[in-house]
Amino acid sequence: MLAILDLTHQDPEARFTTREVAEQMGADEYPVRAAFSWLVRCKKIEVVLGEIRERVTRTAGEKYPVAVYRFKPKSESGDFAALYQVFGLAPTGAGSRDAAGLCNFPVRPR
């Protein structure tokens, strides 16, 4: 996420591709794609529907589309508090991926 923030200059409306982030990190694109997969599953980023960029293959020079991503807009827990009360539910976040701990990425010291 830090590489994306560096690339976008912390602009929440910025759009980016896996290649742009890989270049920012000085990394191969394949592991960045894997990380993006998790970030999409955990609803940290999302594909921008209807916005596609083109790339060209190295060998044949053929064009192909690539996905464009952005940060997923966040909703605050207070936004849903009244709905939880209306339906008699406790706002525990039960069933969410964050509640299950699947999206709590460990930070490794360098």
Q: What is the pLDDT of residues 57-75, one digit of tens each?
A: 889 999 999 999 998 887 6
Please return the burial class of 82, using the count of CB atoms within 10 Å of its CB with bins 0-12, 13-18 and 19+.
exposed
How many Å apart are CA 8 and CA 14, to the nearest integer? 6
Percent of the chain predicted with pLDDT > 90: 28
Residue 59 dihedral angles phi and psi, to the nearest 5°: -85, -55
Using CA atoms, how far apart are residues 14 and 5, in angstroms rounded to an integer?
9
pTM of the model: 0.64
Name the residue with tokens 């999206």.
103
